[in-house]
């Protein structure tokens, strides 16, 4: 990625101007390295410099959240005086729809609406309906998904479903109220989140994913109770290793509960059967689990481990992220993104070849932070963008 200015400490204010724009001409505004000029005019699905296709686009619709999860937006950093993006800086639904329409011909088949807490953005069902209609009009299968903390989901699940949302993931780190409160640092109960999950199932989502971030010393004792609670339900649990995203969550390797340990804890309690990957680039290693000694015919529930720290999966990584103010990041751990605003907003934006920019950015992508984490310099660790800004 070209980086002209040193990355600023706060991400929202910035324009990460990249060399492609600086050297722009009106027609082909991208300055591609010698020998790669052909990339700007190619058509069809795009691959990055390591041969990875682009399949997944995560869209942060707001950087704000009604939770202050200690591993994501600790109150000490994201306090009352924290300057979130002003509303006018957020991409409009039309701008997001234009971006998605441009990304689909490059191979994107899945969009995930996230944040911050996406349900803080009003009328999100309108965006979902637009994306679904756009995909239908072009006869392109587009998987529209969302990740939410579940606190406001009960009232919206049916509207999202009928607008065309295909999948919903709800984050819930503990069933124990005290542990949940300590981790989420918000005035929302476990029961409220569980009601959100129930509402989603009643609204017709066949299966709800439940994300559990496991952080040493906080909630590893919740792994088995959570698996027990959801056993037999159309819920897929995802245990996620605590990651070193951003600068604020005080991450250390000592806080990571390795997926191997999570697996051992589950195996002591349940009978697990390994499942093959359902999709290319899948981040979770999946198992079906059932009570020990239960007949094989007993309904099984799915569990997945996202071992992003101890077993990096950069080799298959097909995800890009767009921040709420229109910066494109090709890695969760990147320090900078590419500013898409000039291609999405303003008088002559529609004349600018957004598709070519996206193709060039993805074609040059070499990110593999998790694979090289140990060797990453202190400088490269500094100023990583925060998760609420990037979109998880
Ligand atoms: N607010 C929504 C939620 O919590 O579901 C969506 C945004 S949140 C950033 C997306 C996902 O990232 C959540 O499942 C959250 O648990 C996860 N996450 C946030 N910080 C993390 C960290 N440091 N390590 C691992 N997962 C993290
Ligand atoms: Fe908010 Fe989600 Fe981050 Fe928790 S993980 S603070 S719910 S954005
Ligand atoms: Fe993808 Fe970056 Fe995560 Fe590797 S570290 S899996 S490249 S987002």
Q: What pLDDT is attached to residue 8?
A: 34
Ligand 3: residue whose CA is nearest its atom 2: 331
CA of 282 to the centre of ligand 1 (A): 17
Asked if 326 and 340 touch (Cβ cutoff 8 Å), the reply is yes
Ligand 1: residue whose CA is nearest its atom 23: 243
Which of 52, 333, 361 is the pocket-test mutation for ligand 3 (most atoms within 8 Å of CB)? 333
Q: Name the DSSP letter for residue 281.
A: T
Q: Identify the residues whose C-beta falls under 6 Å from ligand 1.
A: 65, 71-72, 114-115, 117, 147-149, 171, 211, 213, 240, 242-243, 245, 249, 387-388, 392
Q: What pLDDT is attached to residue 193?
A: 98
Q: Which residue has the tokens 């799915």?
A: 302
Write the CB contacts of 61 (distance below 8 Å, at least 6 apart in sequence): 90, 91, 96, 113, 114, 115, 116, 118, 121, 124, 127, 324
Q: What pLDDT is attached to residue 378?
A: 66
Q: What pLDDT is attached to residue 23?
A: 29
Ligand nearest to the CA of 333: 3
Q: Helices 93-103 and 354-363 sit at what angle, rounded to 10 degrees? A: 60
Q: What pLDDT is attached to residue 32?
A: 52
The b-or-e profile of 292-318 (16+ CB within 10 A means b, else e) is eeeeeeeebbbbbbbbbbeeebbeebb
Q: What pLDDT is attached to residue 388?
A: 85
Token output for 171 = 């984050």
CB of 317 closer than 6 A to ligand 3?
A: yes
CB of 314 closer than 6 A to ligand 3?
A: yes
Q: Name the DSSP letter for residue 331.
A: S
**pTM of the predicted structure, to 2 decimals:** 0.90
Q: What pLDDT is attached to residue 380?
A: 67
Token output for 92 = 């409009």
Q: What pLDDT is attached to residue 22?
A: 31
Distance CA 353, CA 209 (A): 37
Asked if 106 and 361 touch (Cβ cutoff 8 Å), the reply is no
Q: Which atom of ligand 2 is nearest to the CA of 68?
A: 6
Q: Judging by DSSP bridges, how do beta strands 319-322 and 301-306 pair with one another?
A: unpaired
Token output for 148 = 């939410």
| Residue-level pLDDT, tens digit, the chain, 392 residues | 332 233 333 333 223 333 323 323 333 344 454 555 555 567 789 999 999 999 999 999 999 999 999 999 999 999 999 999 999 999 999 999 999 999 999 999 999 999 999 999 999 999 999 999 999 999 999 999 999 999 999 999 999 999 999 999 999 999 999 999 999 999 999 999 999 999 999 999 999 999 999 999 999 999 999 999 999 999 999 999 999 988 888 899 999 999 999 999 999 999 999 999 888 778 899 999 999 988 877 777 899 999 999 998 899 999 999 999 999 999 999 988 999 999 999 777 766 689 999 999 999 999 998 888 877 776 666 678 888 888 77
Ligand 2: residue whose CA is nearest its atom 3: 72
Distance CA 91, CA 85 (A): 11
Ligand 2: residue whose CA is nearest its atom 4: 69
């Amino acid at each position: 990625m070209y980086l002209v200015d040193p990355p600023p400490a706060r991400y929202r204010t910035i324009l990460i101007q990249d060399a492609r724009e600086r050297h722009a001409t009106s027609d082909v505004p991208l300055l591609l390295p010698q020998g790669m000029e052909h990339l700007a005019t190619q058509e069809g699905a795009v691959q990055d410099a390591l041969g990875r296709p682009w399949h997944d686009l995560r869209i942060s619709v707001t950087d704000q959240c009604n939770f202050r999860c200690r591993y994501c937006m600790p109150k000490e950093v994201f306090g009352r005086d924290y300057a979130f993006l002003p509303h006018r800086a957020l991409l409009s639904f039309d701008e997001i729809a234009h971006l998605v329409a441009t990304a689909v011909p490059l191979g994107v088949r899945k969009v995930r609406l996230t944040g911050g807490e996406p349900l803080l953005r009003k009328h999100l069902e309108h965006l979902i309906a637009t994306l679904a209609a756009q995909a239908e009009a072009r006869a392109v299968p587009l998987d529209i998904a969302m990740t939410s903390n579940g606190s406001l989901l009960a009232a919206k699940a049916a509207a999202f479903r009928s607008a065309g949302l295909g999948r919903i993931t709800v984050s819930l780190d503990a069933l124990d109220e005290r542990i949940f409160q300590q981790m989420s640092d918000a005035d929302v109960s476990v029961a409220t989140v569980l009601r959100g999950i129930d509402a989603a199932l009643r609204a017709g989502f066949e299966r709800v994913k439940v994300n559990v971030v496991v952080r040493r010393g906080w909630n590893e004792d919740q792994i088995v109770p959570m698996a027990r609670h959801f056993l037999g339900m159309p819920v897929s649990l995802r245990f996620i290793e605590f990651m070193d995203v951003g600068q604020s969550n005080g991450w250390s390797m000592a806080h990571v509960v390795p997926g191997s340990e999570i697996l051992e804890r589950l195996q002591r309690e349940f009978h697990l059967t390994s499942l093959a990957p359902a999709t290319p680039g899948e981040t979770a290693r999946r198992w079906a689990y059932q009570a020990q000694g239960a007949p094989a015919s007993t309904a099984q529930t799915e569990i997945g481990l996202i071992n992003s720290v101890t077993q990096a999966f950069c080799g298959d990584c097909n995800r890009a992220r767009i921040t709420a103010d229109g910066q494109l990041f090709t890695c969760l751990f990147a320090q900078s993104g590419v500013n898409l605003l000039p291609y999405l907003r303003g008088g002559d934006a529609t004349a600018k070849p957004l598709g070519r920019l996206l193709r060039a950015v993805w074609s040059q992508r070499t990110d593999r932070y998790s694979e090289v984490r140990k060797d990453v310099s202190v400088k490269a660790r500094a100023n990583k963008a925060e998760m609420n800004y990037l979109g998880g």
